[in-house]
Structure 1
Amino acid sequence: MEEMVLDAVDLKLLDLLQDDATRSNQWLAEQVHVSPPTCLRRVRRLHECGLIERQVAIVQPERLAALQGHGLACIVEVSLDRQGAEWLDAFEARAVQEPGVQQCWRVSPGPDFVLVLHTHDMPAYLALAQRLFTGDANVRNVKAFFATKRAKFLTKVAVTPVK
């Protein structure tokens, strides 16, 4: 497979699309100083090569909570008893299948995993904890931190301009 080379236009497109992926192709083309067909072709290439994984809507949880009832956000550290690759892979596979797990990070040093969870309420969290932690004999330690306020949340990855 041919290695992709990014130029300043590609990087600027990645930066702009991370701010707002709903902008029109015409607007994007104007911002990066290329024709609309060139812009469209470059954005498609960024998708096809996997640099743009997917486009999503980011829901504002406090506004949703006002309409649907407050959710519960939690950051959990998980340490396993056995850390062989097969044990780490098995826990990770189970964690990523849980709808309440928003993020799953394998980390070092310290715990083996850090999970970001979001459930409807405490009973839903307890059910998830039973399935994922208590029901797994290899889970040695779980340390949960329940969020009281979200001060900052970004999905944007820093894009370094070409010099």
Structure 2
Amino acid sequence: MMARHARAGRLDWIGLRAERYAPIDIVQSVDVIDTGLVGDHGRAGKRAVTLIQAEHLPVVAALSGHDVIKPEVLRRNLVVSGLNLLALRKGLLRVGDVVLEIHGPCPPCSRMEKELGPGGYNAMRGHGGWYASVATPGRLHVGDKILPV
């Protein structure tokens, strides 16, 4: 049962951070290399790519007292929908022709207090997404299908 999913997920949004505190650049596609997304300052290794579920954005908004939160506020690289990342825990995820290895939950940073206001850090706890390394490089496009491998 743990390996069954109702349907494929979808890549809804891609964001790149040229520098640590730089504004997010929203793109429709990006090359993925062994160390992460081309044009993103992220770390190589287990935290090369960050993902968050679109379904969690309204939850974070509600918990932080906002009507809507745009993905760039949360500073993750990929927003995905339709596939429960919590059910995957750790493992491989195919996004288009790219394979990512999920390593664990991506905790919020203290910057969420600034971005979301008081309580923003706690609003993100448990909803901060996941971090991953690159198992198979390639190119990502908004609209790509997502499946566990």
Query: Could you tell me the TM-score, scaled by structure 1's length?
Result: 0.28
Task: Pick 1 or 2: higher relative contact order, CA cutoff 8 A, min separation 6.
Answer: 2
Query: Whose radius of gyration is greater, 1 or 2?
Result: 1
Q: Which has the higher helix share?
A: 1
Q: Which has the higher strand share?
A: 2
Query: Could you tell me the TM-score, scaled by structure 2's length?
Result: 0.30
